[in-house]
Every structure is written in structure tokens, then in C-alpha cells.
Amino acid sequence: MAEAERSLVLWDIDRTLLYVGEIDRQVYREAFAEIVGRPAERLPARGTGVTMPLAIRSLLLHNGVPPSDVPQLLPRIVELLPQRLTGHEEDLREQGVVMPGALSALKAVHEQPYCVTTVVTGNLRPNALLKLEAFGLDAFLDTEIGGYSSDDEHRPALVAVAQKRAQAKLGATFTRSNTVIIGDSLEDVRTGVEGGASVIGIASGKTTARDLASAGADAVLDSLEDTERLLEEITTVTRSSAKK
């Protein structure tokens, strides 16, 4: 297929491809206690899809840290999080799970000659790689061209980050017409709507299929188990976007 016909497929990670249970929250606890010097009483909400820097800002403010201290403490916690997650690598493999149908879906999309597969995620890049590598999912993704919260705390901005990296590496142009996000949260939908991508919502997280559709997802699947339908939807939404 010609370069111009390629589609950039941006996978969300948490609750779309895999689920690591309480490990992320434990890492927040450890990093907060180390940097602030006391336990956190309130932790970030589960399954929202917000970027880690924004989650950390919320963590600090909701645990009584003065706003004036946040600019100093936030980057220290951001720097510490990957170290703390590294200490839980064995826990990731033992407690984490690949979401139903995710491995087959990931392989199938990766094998399509017209699909360029990577991630757009609220995770910091080192954390994203640790999670993907724990389950061997990185083999089906070009993680060099992904968009991570290490790049920008504003998640919709990560679409352009991934598009530019893919263009620089592959020499193809990626715009809204040939970029699609696959994700489970309202943040995934917002990222596509505001950032410049179609969205295939997967109702595998805390957000219902109805809410994903209402938020603006171009298509919604109950899970990743119907690989054939997923491939059809990728083709459909990119063709539809190209006509707009």
C-alpha cells in the first residue's frame, strides 16, 4: 500500500490493553510519602485516563499540600514514579492481566500492512514501557513514535506528538483523516476529539459504551474480543474521516 494510505493507530494502555490493579496507586503512595514525608490519605481516582502529571497535582492538592509548594514537589514525584514502578516489576507480571482479546487484537492490527501501531497514554514513557514489556505487548507496537505524558500533561496534545514522530520516522503524513485512537475512557475520547483523531471506544474500563458514544467516540465495542469487527471499524472510521 502507498505511504499516504497508512493509518496511525494509537492504543491506550490501562484498562484497554492491560490492567495492573492497585500497583499504580501503590506507586503513588510510595512516591508521595517519600517526597512529602507523610502518607497520602486520598489517592487519584481509578480509570479516569488523566495524565500522570495531572494526577500527581491532584494527589498533592487533595492531601493538603499548599498550592505554592506544588511546582517544586510535582517534578520530583514525576521523576520518582518510574523508579518506584521498577521496584514492582514482578508484581506487574504476577498481579497484572492482559485485557480480554487484547493480545489477539494487538497482533492483528500490527499485522495489517496499512496500520502503524503505537500508543497514546497518560502514563509517563518509562512507566508505559515497563507495563507493556511485562506482558510482551511492546513487540506489537512502535513505542518510539508514541505520545506519553512525559511529553505533555495535556493529553490531547499527545496526538500531534505521535503524528509528528511517525511522520519523521516513516515519511508519511498523519492527520485526523488517518489517525485513530483505541481506548476505554472519556479522556481517550476527548484526546481524539480535541487532539485530531477518530476514536474507537472499548467499554472494558469504567466507562459504559453509551457514555463513550455520547462523548463523541466514532465507534464503540464492548471489548477487544471481536478482532474482525475492530479491523473493520479502523477502516471505516479512517475512511469516514477522510471524507469530512
Q: Which three cell numbers stand for residue 117?
A: 501501531
User: Residue 2 pLDDT more than 80?
Assistant: no
Q: Answer positive or negative: Cα dihedral of 210, 211, 214, 217.
A: negative
For residues 43 and 25, the answer to whether their CB atoms sit within 8 Å is yes
- The reported pLDDT for the residue numbered 59 is 96
Task: Round the average pLDDT of the chain to a whole number and report it.
Answer: 94
Whole-angstrom distance, CA of residue 240 vs CA of residue 84: 43
Q: Please write the tens of the pLDDT for every residue from 20-41.
A: 999 999 999 999 999 999 999 9
Q: 179 has which bridge partners?
A: 8
Question: Cell numbers at residue 44, please?
Answer: 487519584
> Tell me, what's the pLDDT at 243?
61
Burial bucket for residue 190 (CB in 10 Å: 0-12, 13-18, 19+): middle
First-residue to last-residue Cα distance in the chain: 22
Q: Does the pLDDT at position 244 exceed 80?
A: no
State the pLDDT confidence band at 49, using cuts at 50, 70 and 90.
Answer: confident
The β-bridge partners of 115 are 7
Q: What H or E segment, with its residue span, contains residue 110?
A: helix 102-111
Q: What is the pLDDT of residue 4?
A: 42
pLDDT confidence of residue 240: 67
State the average pLDDT over residues 35-53.
91
Q: Could you give all domains of the chain from N- to C-terminal order, each with its CATH number? A: 3-19+97-243 (3.40.50.1000), 23-94 (1.10.150)
Quick one: pLDDT at residue 3? 43
In single-letter form, the type of residue at position 48 comes to T
Instruction: Tell me the average pLDDT across 82-111.
Output: 96
Overall average pLDDT of the 69-91 stretch: 96
What pLDDT is stored for residue 45 in this prediction?
Answer: 82
Nearest to 120 by CA among 97, 79, 154: 154
Q: Where do we find the cell 471524507?
A: 243
23 with 96: CB under 8 angstroms? Answer: yes
Query: Bridge partners of 119?
Result: 11
**Average pLDDT score over residue span 159-168:** 98
- pLDDT at site 47: 77
* pTM recorded for the entire structure: 0.94
